[in-house]
């Protein structure tokens, strides 16, 4: 039996797909696994920010088409980049154990301090708004491209620093470029950050993916995505959500951003079985201004 996995062709996307493939192969050594890579619309358009061209859904369009047409059996995504609206025929069917979800600061090679005379490279409004709470003097500028391309632009002097997901750097073996790790209290991660999401057709044999699916990651990811969905946000939205599980209790931390870019932040806890409902309630509270404002 052969299972075909579809992936974007970037180095990080391939590594992430290989993580999933390795877990499947270890649990099912009789299977033959094949990797198929493709360039997505989001990879092709690099001269505009994602919110101007249709959001991060452009990174999954071609992969979803390949699934629907039967050219691949599974696709692997960074959960934080997967659209909040799912096609019932192409559901997310597994969530990997979470890598470190925190955002990090990357400086030019050899530098130890931020040069605030140059812009900070960051294409995420979520990161920009929270970073400017920490450093009001910072000027932000969009940066597109894969991680190596962004690092090249940084080292060429186009930016004084980058804000990136630490998980991606670690998976690429570039952990040595991290100069500072931001705690969730400083910069709350994006929903699903650090988790790999596996997508398939609704008739796929899910028993093959029990070796990939992590119960804690699933409960956290579904809760975080419910928070964003309740606020009508997408994966390019500035809202943030981060859940943690301890035993049977889930705690969800969320940030809502109003039309004036004011941040409202709050926390809710309860039974992990009610995670999505708790997240939706927290989202409603924040939208109504019932919890604290981030100055």
Calpha distance 231→256 (Å, rounded): 8
Q: What are phi and psi of 216, to 5 degrees?
A: -65, -45
The yes-or-no answer on residue 180 being catalytic is: no
Please state, in angstroms and rounded to a whole number, the distance separating the CA atoms of residues 268 and 250.
8
Report in angstroms the alpha-carbon separations of 252 from 78, 87, 124, 128, 209.
Answer: 20, 25, 21, 21, 26
- 8, 102, 127, 218: the catalytic one is 127
127 is catalytic: yes
Residue among 8, 56, 80, 265 flagged as catalytic: 80
Choosing from 8, 56, 98, 150, which is the catalytic residue?
A: 150
Whether 126 sits among the annotated catalytic residues: the reply is: yes
Active site residue 220: no
Edge-to-edge strand list for the sheet holding 74-78: 32-38, 2-8, 74-78, 196-200, 92-95
Q: What is the dihedral sign for C-alpha 245, 246, 250, 252?
A: negative
How far CA 64 is from CA of 24, 57, 124, 235, in Å, comes to 21, 10, 24, 17
From the candidates 8, 56, 98, 126, give the one annotated as an active-site residue.
126
Name, in order, each residue with C-beta under 8 angstroms of 120's C-beta and a sequence gap of 6 or more.
114, 128, 131, 138, 139, 140, 141, 159, 160, 161, 162, 163
Q: Which of 43, 218, 235, 272 is catalytic?
A: 235
Dihedral (CA of 152, 155, 159, 160) sign: positive
81 is catalytic: yes
Exactly one of 43, 73, 81, 219 is catalytic; which is it?
A: 81
Report d(CA 56, CA 234) in Å as an integer.
8
Tell me, yes or no, if 273 is annotated catalytic: no
Is 97 catalytic? The answer is: no
Positions annotated as catalytic residues are 80-81, 126-127, 144, 150, 235
């Amino acid at each position: 039996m052969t299972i075909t996995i579809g992936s974007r062709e970037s180095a990080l996307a391939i590594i992430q797909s290989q993580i999933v493939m390795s877990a499947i192969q270890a649990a099912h050594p009789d299977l033959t696994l094949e990797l198929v890579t493709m360039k997505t619309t989001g990879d092709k358009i690099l001269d505009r920010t994602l919110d101007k061209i249709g959001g991060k859904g452009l990174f999954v369009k071609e992969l979803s088409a390949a699934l629907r047409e039967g050219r691949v059996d599974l696709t692997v995504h960074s959960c934080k980049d997967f659209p909040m609206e799912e096609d019932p025929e192409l559901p997310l069917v597994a969530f990997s154990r979470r890598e470190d979800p925190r955002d990090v600061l990357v400086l030019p090679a050899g530098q130890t301090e931020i040069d605030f005379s140059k812009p900070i490279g960051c294409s995420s409004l979520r990161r920009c708004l929270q970073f400017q709470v920490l450093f009001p003097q910072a000027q932000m500028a969009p940066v597109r491209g894969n991680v190596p391309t962004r690092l090249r632009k940084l080292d060429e002097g186009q930016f004084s620093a980058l804000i990136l997901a630490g998980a991606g750097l670690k998976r690429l073996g570039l952990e040595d470029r991290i100069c500072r790790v931001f705690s969730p209290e400083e910069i709350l991660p994006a929903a699903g950050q650090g988790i790999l999401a596996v997508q398939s057709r609704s008739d796929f044999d899910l028993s093959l993916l029990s070796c990939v699916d992590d119960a804690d990651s699933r409960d956290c990811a579904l809760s975080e995505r419910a928070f964003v969905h309740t606020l009508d946000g997408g994966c390019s939205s500035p809202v943030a959500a981060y859940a943690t599980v301890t035993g049977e209790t889930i705690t969800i931390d969320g940030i809502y951003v109003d039309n004036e870019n004011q941040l409202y932040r709050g926390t809710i806890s309860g039974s992990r079985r009610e995670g999505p409902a708790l997240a939706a309630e927290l989202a409603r509270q924040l939208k109504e201004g019932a919890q604290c404002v981030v100055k």
